[in-house]
Amino acid sequence: MKSFRPTWAEINLDAIHQNIHQFRKWLPEKMQMMAVVKADGYGHGALPVAREALAAGATWLGVALMEEALELRSAGITAPILVFGYLPSEAIPVAQQQGIAVTITDAASFQEACSSINPSLPALKFHLKVDTGMGRLGITTPAELEQIIAWYREHTQRKDGAVMLWEGLFTHLATADEEDDSYLRRQINQFETFRKQIMGEGIDLPYVHLANSAGTIRHQQLPTMNLVRIGISMYGLYPSPWMKHLLPFPLTEAFSLHSRLSFIKQVAAGAGISYGRTYLTQEEEWVGTIPIGYADGWSRALSNRSEVLVGGERSKVIGRICMDQCMIRLTKPYQRNELVTLIGRQGKERISIDDIAQLLDTINYEIPCQIGKRVPRRYVKKGCQDEWEHDRINEQEC
Ligand SMILES: *Cc1c(COP(=O)(O)O)cnc(C)c1O
């Protein structure tokens, strides 16, 4: 759909390409990369991000939901996909049909999957999840693993071919972004005991993976894995600020947020701006209105606290942020349609996702995720911009 409101998020696919490419050059050659594109690619757009990541050297895609995997498949993406979350049994034949790998989180989910398999479809690929200390999903005891191994041998290997293919073993790290690595080391040790138990049974595991972005950044500590799951850092963000110094290359933020002035006025001193008159002008001031509000994910908690960039200068958000609009204090009179950057760079000034996350007392992950569907994503590739619709990116040779 054509967009009339001049408010958009710009996604720099070149930045995503560069981030993945740098990881590719830095990681050992045998280490494969899974690009994590759940939650619509952390708000960047799952499809264009997935395509770019695959072009830049990722070989796997990771998502949270079956719906997200199917969206990629129906767009023609044939790369291996792993769904991290629990799946009800109806999803199993769909996974077989579409060649989507599923996560087995416990003995019961293994049994459920076993009994939902359609033997006339291709074998179900699965990765077993072990909970080594995240406390979210996964088996926790050797006895549970033993049970799964027994069932695997009994029920999945048939004379006419396997109905289940044990493709991987993985865990999720809870503290890989913290400087103190004692808990991380405990998780790694725990994981190793499970891995060895499986190896000891003569079961071959094509993929062994533990690392999110933070784990990938300290991959030297994780010797047995051969696949990393990179989310946040592919988008150019650090799992936590101190990790910057562990990477031998800089990451480039892919997401920026923009709008244009829709209204400009000069107001006398003592005028109230927006609901509740929480901002009163101190003197004669120039006030601009921009068409973005909390319904777009530009949180109301940023009222009277955040800044935006106009004409390469910082400009304060004044008064309460409304549902669809908010007001800013201009340093001088501007014309309607002047570019306003809420996240990103203008000249020497820059407002990063981390700055906004800090103001909102949250993590950088949440910021692009919460910018809603009402804000169209515009894609930039090799310096040129597409016309709003991301599907055109591939056709268009810039
Ligand atoms: C989201 C997620 C990731 C990616 O984590 P980042 O910190 O964004 O790199 C990796 N693995 C699993 C299981 C996840 O849910």
Atom of ligand 1 nearest to the CA of 239: 7
**Element housing 372 (H / E):** none
Instruction: Tell me if 214 sits within 8 A of 239, measured CB to CB.
Output: yes
Check if 213 has its Cβ closer than 6 Å to any atom of ligand 1. yes
Q: Which residues of 372-383 are buried (b: 16+ CB within 10 A; e: fewer)?
A: eeebbbbbbbee
Q: Please state, in angstroms and as integers, the Cα–Cα distance from residue 314 to each residue in 66, 93, 329, 350, 356, following that order.
A: 43, 54, 9, 9, 14
Helix (H, G, I), strand (E, B) or coil at 389: coil
Q: Which of 238, 275, 294, 373 is catalytic?
A: 275
Check if 229 has its Cβ closer than 6 Å to any atom of ligand 1. yes
Check if 13 has its Cβ closer than 6 Å to any atom of ligand 1. no
Give per-residue pLDDT as tens, 58-104: 999 999 999 999 999 999 999 999 999 999 999 999 999 999 999 99
Give per-residue pLDDT as tens, 246-276: 999 999 999 999 999 999 999 999 999 999 9
Atom of ligand 1 nearest to the CA of 216: 9
- Could you tell me the two tokens for 229? 């799951």
Q: How many CB atoms lie within 10 A of CB 223?
A: 9
Nearest CA to ligand 1 atom 6: 231
Give per-residue pLDDT as tens, 173-224: 999 999 999 999 999 999 999 999 999 999 999 999 999 999 999 999 888 8
37 Cα–ligand 1 center, Å: 9
User: Can 38 be counted among the known catalytic residues?
Assistant: yes
- Could you tell me the two tokens for 309? 């960039």
384 Cα–ligand 1 center, Å: 30
Region class of 125: left (phi > 0), else alpha (psi between -120 and 50), else beta: beta
The strand pairing partners of 208, in sequence order, are 169
Residue 86 phi/psi, 5-degree rounding, is: -70, 140
Check if 212 has its Cβ closer than 6 Å to any atom of ligand 1. yes
237 Cα–ligand 1 center, Å: 13
Check if 172 has its Cβ closer than 6 Å to any atom of ligand 1. yes
Atom of ligand 1 nearest to the CA of 38: 1
344 Cα–ligand 1 center, Å: 24
- Could you tell me the two tokens for 67? 């719906």
Residue 155's pLDDT is: 77
326-330 and 313-318: which strand pairing?
Answer: antiparallel
245 Cα–ligand 1 center, Å: 21
- Could you tell me the two tokens for 132? 């080594």
Instruction: Tell me if 267 sits within 8 A of 52, measured CB to CB.
Output: no
Give per-residue pLDDT as tens, 106-160: 999 999 999 999 999 999 999 999 999 999 999 999 999 999 999 999 877 766 6
Atom of ligand 1 nearest to the CA of 230: 9
Check if 239 has its Cβ closer than 6 Å to any atom of ligand 1. yes
The strand pairing partners of 225, in sequence order, are none
DSSP string of 153-214, one letter each residue: HHHS--TT--SEEEEEEE---SSTTSS--HHHHHHHHHHHHHHHHHHHTT---SEEE---HH
369 Cα–ligand 1 center, Å: 14
Residue 383's pLDDT is: 63
- Could you tell me the two tokens for 44? 């960047």
In the predicted structure, residue 386 carries a pLDDT above the cut 70: no
Check if 232 has its Cβ closer than 6 Å to any atom of ligand 1. yes
Residue 159's pLDDT is: 64
Q: Please state, in angstroms and as integers, the Cα–Cα distance from residue 173 to each residue in 188, 209, 211, following that order.
A: 9, 10, 7
Residue 393's pLDDT is: 38
DSSP string of 212-229, one letter each residue: -HHHHHTGGG-TT--EEE
Contacts of 182 (CB under 8 A, 6+ apart): none
- Of the candidate ranges 44-53, 147-156, 365-374, the one whose mean pLDDT is the lowest: 147-156
How far is 278 from 270, CA to CA, in rounded Å?
11
pTM of structure? 0.94
Q: Please state, in angstroms and as integers, the Cα–Cα distance from residue 22 to each residue in 33, 193, 221, following that order.
A: 12, 32, 19
User: Can 265 be counted among the known catalytic residues?
Assistant: no
174 Cα–ligand 1 center, Å: 10
Q: Best of 65, 84, 130, 132 to mutate for ligand 1, by most ligand atoms within 8 A of CB?
A: 84
Atom of ligand 1 nearest to the CA of 42: 8
